[in-house]
Structure 1
Amino acid sequence: MKNKWAALALLAATQFVLILDLTIVSIALPPLGRDLGLDQQDLSWLTTAYSLVFGGLLLLGGRLSDFAGRRRVFMAGMVLFAAGSLVGGFASTGEVLVAVRAVQGLAGALVAPAAMSLVMTIFEGDPAFGKAMGIWGAVGGVGGAAGVVLGGLLTDWFGWRSVFFVNVPVGVVVAGLALVILPAAGPAAVRKGFDLAGAVTSTAGLALLIYSLVDLDIRWTAVAVALLVVFVVIESRSANPLLPLGIFRKKLLRAGNVLMFLVASAMQAVFFILTLYTQVVLGYSATQSGLSMAAIAVSIALTASMLGGRSVARYGLRTTAGIGMGLIAVAVAWYTRIGVNGAFLADLLGPEIISGIGFGLLVVAATIAATSEALPAEAGLASGLFNVTQQVGISVGIAVLITVASTRTAGATDTASLVAGYQAAIWVGLGIIVAGVIAALTLLPRKTATKEPQQAAPVPTA
C-alpha cells in the first residue's frame, strides 16, 4: 500500500480520539455534576457506561469488521460517534448523558477493532511493523492522558458541553477521509451469521458485574457470573462463536490481554481519582487539573514511540513489560502520599513521569504480545479482544476503586475524609499493579523465545 503511513496516521488519530474521549469527559465531571446535581457515584457512571458498552460489544465489533468489511464498519462507527456526541452536547439530565455515553461506547466498539485490524493488515510482513506498533501504543497512551488537558481547557473556556461538541466535526471528517485513504478491502472471513446469543449474554453479564461492584450487591454478582458462564457454554457449542475459545491457546495473546486488563483497571481508575483530588481537594480549575497531568502524556508519547519497539526488539517482551509494570508500581506507590495540602512538584510530577515511562514500555509490549499470533482472518477478533480487556479493565477498576473510596469516606465531604478515601483506593490500585508485575515476569517468554514481530510466522505482524 503506497500511502500506508497516511493510513496509519488516520487510524492512530482515531484511536487517540476514542481513548481521549474516555478522559476528556472525566475532567469535566466536577462542573458537570454541579450543574446537573450529580454525586460522585453518579458521575462515575458517565465513565463506566462508555467503557462498559465499549468493552462489552468489542468482540461483536471485531467480528463485524471481519465479516462486513473493516473500512465500512470503521466509517459507520465514526458517524454514530459524531451523532451521539451531538446529542450529548445538548443533554440536560444525567440519565440522558449516561445513555449518550453508552452510544459513544457502541460507536467505539465498532471503530476500535476495525482500526486496529486495518493496521495489522496494512503492515502485514512489513519490517516497519515495530515502528507502527510503537506509534499505535503511543497515541493510545497519550490519548488517555491528553484528554484531561484538552478537557480542562475546553471546560474552562467553553463549558462542559464543549467536550461533547468537539467530537462532532472530528467524526464527520475522519469518516470522509477514510473513503480516500483507507483500503477498501472486502470481508476477511466467510459470512456464517452472527453469534447474537453470545453478544447478549457477554454484554449483560459484564454490565451486571460492574453494577454489582458499584452497588455492592452480591445477588447481582451471582446473576452476572451465571450469565458469563452461559456465555462460555454458548461459545463452546456455537458453529460461529463470537469468541472462539481456541484463541486462548495462544500463549502470547493470553499474556498480552492479562497485562492490559491489569494496567487499565488500576491506572485509569487512579487517573480518575487524581482528577477529583486536584479539583475537589487542591482547588485546581479544570484547566489547571488537566495541565497538572500533562507530564504523563509527554512521557508516554516519547517512550512508546521512541523506546517501546526498540526495547522489545533488543530485550524481549518479558523484560520490557516487566520494567514498564515495575515503574508503574513505583509511581502508584508514590501517589499514595497525596494529602490535604499536597503540592504538584512534591506529589504529582515525579510519579507522572515515572508512570508515563512505564506505561509507554508496557503498552507496546502488551500490544505486540496480544496480536502477534493472530492469523489474517482473526485480526478483528484479536484486536477486539485486546480492546475488550482494556475497556472492561477500566470499568472494573473505576467501579472497584470508587467504591473503596466512597466506603472509606462513609458520606463525609471534608477534605481530610476525601483524601483518606482516595488513598485507600490508590492502595488497592497498587495491589493490582503488583499482580501485573508478577504476570509480566511469569507469562511472557524470555528474549530467546521472542523474535522481531515481523518475523513471527505465520501471523500478520501486528
Structure 2
Amino acid sequence: MSQTASTAPGVPDANRWRALVFIALAQLMVVLDATIVNIALPSAQQDLGISDGDRQWVVTAYALAFGGLLLFGGRIADLWGRKRAFVLGLTGFAAASALGGAAQSGAMMFGARALQGVFGALLAPAALSLLAVMFTDAKERAKAFGIYGAIAGGGGAVGLILGGFLTEYLDWRWTFFVNVPFAIVAAAGAYFVIREPQGSRNRSPLDIPGVVLSTLGLVSLVYGFTRAESDGWSDSLTITLFVASVVLLAAFVFTESRLKAPLLPLRVITDRNRGGVYLSLGLAIIAMFGTFLFLTYYLQVVKGYSPVKTGFAFLPMVAGMITGSTQIGTRLMTRVPARLLMGPGFLVAATGMLLLAQLQVGSSYGFLVLPALVLLGLGMGTAFMPAMSLATYGVQPRDAGVASAMVNTSQQVGGAIGTALLNTIASSATASYIKDHIATATSKPQAQLVQLQGMVHGYTGAIWFAVGILVLAATVALTFVNAGRPGAASVSGQGAGEGTEDEVQVPVVAH
C-alpha cells in the first residue's frame, strides 16, 4: 500500500482499528520516554561524566525542543499528511534514541535528547490528529480515545517499572535502545495500514513568522519555568525569559489574527469548548506532574522503595486510569455531556490528592497511598478521555494537526509549570520546617527523622495546592465546556471567530 493511500471522505477506513494499535504503540513509546529516562539519569550522569549543574539538560533539551516545536509539528502534519509525518516522526525518534543510547559524552547525550524532542513534536500531534480524522462515529470514537487516553495517562508509571528493570538488570543505555523496536514496529505497521481520509490536508503556504514567534515564545516559556525550578523565580534570566515569552506569544497572536493562512487559526482556540478543554487539561497536568514527582521521591527516599518497587507501587493508578478511560469514559461519553465526565473526574482525582495531602513519614501504603492512587487514576482517566476527544472534535480536518498540537502544548507547558511551581512550594516548606525543628534533634537519628519529616511536610504542602488546582480544573470544565447533548444537530465545531467556509460535518460525539 502506498504511503499516499487514502479513503474517500466520509467513508470509514476498514483498517482503522489495526491502525489504532500502531498509533497507541507510538504514543506509549513517547509517554514511556518521559519517565524511563529519569530513572536512568543518575547512572548515565556518572558514566558520561556530566556535572550536577549540567545534568538538567538531559531533561531540558528534550522539553525545549518538544514544547517549542509542537505547533510547527502539528502544522507540518496538516501540510504533508499525518501518516507521512507520523512515520517520519517515528523514524527520527528511533534514530535519536539510538544516538542517546550510544552517547559517549554529555554533549552527545544532550544533542540526542534535543533530536528526540524535535521528532516527538512531529510525532505526537500527528498521532492524535490521525485518530481525530479516522474515527468519526460517536461510539467508535469513544472507544478509540478511551484506549488512547488510558495509554497517555498510565504510560508514565509503566515507564518507571521498565526503566527500573532496565537500569538495575541491564544498563541505562537500554532505556534509550528500547525505543528502537517500538518505533520500528509502529512505523512499519503505520506505513502499511494507515490511510487518511481524502481532502483532509491543509495545503496553505507555511506561516514562517508564526513558526518563528510561536517556537521562540514557547521555548522561552518552558525554559523560564525550568530555570525557575533550578535557579529561583527572582533570577534575572528567569524573569527575562518570562517577559520575552509574553512579548513573543502576544506578537504571535497578533500576527495570526492578521494572516489568511496562519500557523494556528484562532478559531481553533477561541471555540469555547476547545478553549475550556485546553485550559482544564493544562491545569490538571500541573497538579499531576508535581505530585507524581513528590510521590516518587516519597516512596524511594522516605519509604526506601527500589525503582522497580516504586514503579509497581504506581500500578493501581494505571489500573484506575484504564478503568476510568475505557470503562467509565467510553461507556458514558455518548450518553452524557463531556463536562459531566470531566468536572466530576477532576473532583474524584482531587479527592485522591486530598488523601495524599495527609501523608506522614510512617503512613501505610495500603491504607493511604493505594486508595489515593486508585482515585487519582479513576478521576483522571474519566476526565482525560472525553477531553482528548473534544479537543479535536468539530475542527475542520485541515486544522486537525494544529488542534492536536494544542493538546500536547497544554500538557507540555502544564508539566513545566507543575514541576517548577509545586517543587518551589515544597522546597520552601521543607526548608522552613527543618529550620524550625532541627534544634530539637539531639542525636543523628533524630536529625535524620527531622529531615524526612521536613521533606514530607514540603510534599504535603505542595499537594494541597495541587488539590486546589484540580478543583479549579473541574470548575473550568463545568463552566466553559458547554457543548450540546449527544445527538444534537449542530456539529460544526464552530466557536467564536470560526467561520462556516469548508466546514466538514461529522457525526456527533457526546459533549
- TM-score of the superposed pair, with normalisation by structure 2: 0.83
Q: Which amino acid aligns with 1:311?
A: L
Who is 2:498 aligned against?
Answer: none
1:73 is aligned, of 85, 101, 113, to 85
1:319 is aligned, of 319, 340, 344, to 340
**Counterparts of 1:338 and 1:48, CA distance in 2:** 30
* Contact 2:274–2:481 (Cα < 8 Å) also in 1: no
* Contact 1:56–1:203 (Cα < 8 Å) also in 2: yes
Who is 2:438 aligned against?
Answer: none
**Counterparts of 1:162 and 1:388, CA distance in 2:** 28
Q: Which amino acid aligns with 1:440?
A: A
1:159 match: secondary structure: coil
Q: Which moved more, 1:333-342 or 1:112-121?
A: 333-342
Who is 1:10 aligned against?
Answer: 22
Who is 2:125 aligned against?
Answer: 113
**Counterparts of 1:196 and 1:16, CA distance in 2:** 31
Structure 1 residues 207-246: aligned runs within 5 Å: 207-213=219-225, 214=228, 215=231, 216=233, 217-246=238-267
The number of residue pairs the alignment matches comes to 459
Q: Which moved more, 1:302-311 or 1:188-197?
A: 188-197
2:465 is aligned, of 428, 439, 443, to 428
Q: Which amino acid aligns with 1:395?
A: A
Structure 1 residues 32-431: aligned runs within 5 Å: 32=44, 39=52, 46-91=58-103, 96-125=108-137, 127-183=139-195, 188-213=200-225, 214=228, 215=231, 216=233, 217-410=238-431, 414-431=451-468
Please say which structure displays the higher CA radius of gyration: 2
2:334 match: secondary structure: helix
**Counterparts of 1:459 and 1:38, CA distance in 2:** 55
1:313 match: secondary structure: coil
Q: Give the CA deviation at 1:324.
A: 0.4
* Contact 2:133–2:196 (Cα < 8 Å) also in 1: no
Q: Give the CA deviation at 1:267.
A: 0.5
- TM-score of the superposed pair, with normalisation by structure 1: 0.91
Residues 282 and 203 (structure 1 numbering): CA distance in 2 closer, same or farther, change over 3 Å? farther
- Is 2:459 the counterpart of 1:445? no
Calculate the aligned-residue CA RMSD, in Å: 2.6
Residues 189 and 345 (structure 1 numbering): CA distance in 2 closer, same or farther, change over 3 Å? same
Q: Which moved more, 1:412-421 or 1:170-179?
A: 412-421
* Contact 2:336–2:486 (Cα < 8 Å) also in 1: no
**Counterparts of 2:300 and 2:23, CA distance in 1:** 33
Residues 95 and 346 (structure 1 numbering): CA distance in 2 closer, same or farther, change over 3 Å? farther
Q: Which amino acid aligns with 2:358?
A: R
Q: Give the CA deviation at 1:410.
A: 4.7
Residues 263 and 23 (structure 1 numbering): CA distance in 2 closer, same or farther, change over 3 Å? same
* Contact 1:321–1:362 (Cα < 8 Å) also in 2: yes
Residues 47 and 339 (structure 1 numbering): CA distance in 2 closer, same or farther, change over 3 Å? farther
The C-alpha deviation readout for 1:25-78, integer Å capped at 9, x for no partner, is 233345555665665x86665445434432321211111111111111111111
The C-alpha deviation readout for 1:177-215, integer Å capped at 9, x for no partner, is 222111166773343322232222222222222333323
**Counterparts of 2:297 and 2:42, CA distance in 1:** 7
Residues 416 and 96 (structure 1 numbering): CA distance in 2 closer, same or farther, change over 3 Å? farther
Residues 188 and 315 (structure 1 numbering): CA distance in 2 closer, same or farther, change over 3 Å? closer
Q: Which amino acid aligns with 1:451?
A: P
* Contact 1:376–1:460 (Cα < 8 Å) also in 2: no
Q: Give the CA deviation at 1:99.
A: 3.7
* Contact 2:154–2:318 (Cα < 8 Å) also in 1: yes
Identity %: 37
**Counterparts of 2:279 and 2:93, CA distance in 1:** 28
Q: Give the CA deviation at 1:159.
A: 3.0
**Counterparts of 1:186 and 1:445, CA distance in 2:** 31
Residues 32 and 269 (structure 1 numbering): CA distance in 2 closer, same or farther, change over 3 Å? farther
Q: Which amino acid aligns with 1:132?
A: A
Q: Give the CA deviation at 1:174.
A: 1.7
* Contact 1:53–1:102 (Cα < 8 Å) also in 2: yes
* Contact 2:207–2:263 (Cα < 8 Å) also in 1: yes
Which structure 2 residue ranges, 5 or more long, are not aligned?
A: 1-12, 435-447, 493-503
Q: Which amino acid aligns with 1:236?
A: S
Residues 249 and 224 (structure 1 numbering): CA distance in 2 closer, same or farther, change over 3 Å? closer
Q: Which moved more, 1:285-294 or 1:135-144?
A: 135-144
Residues 95 and 397 (structure 1 numbering): CA distance in 2 closer, same or farther, change over 3 Å? farther
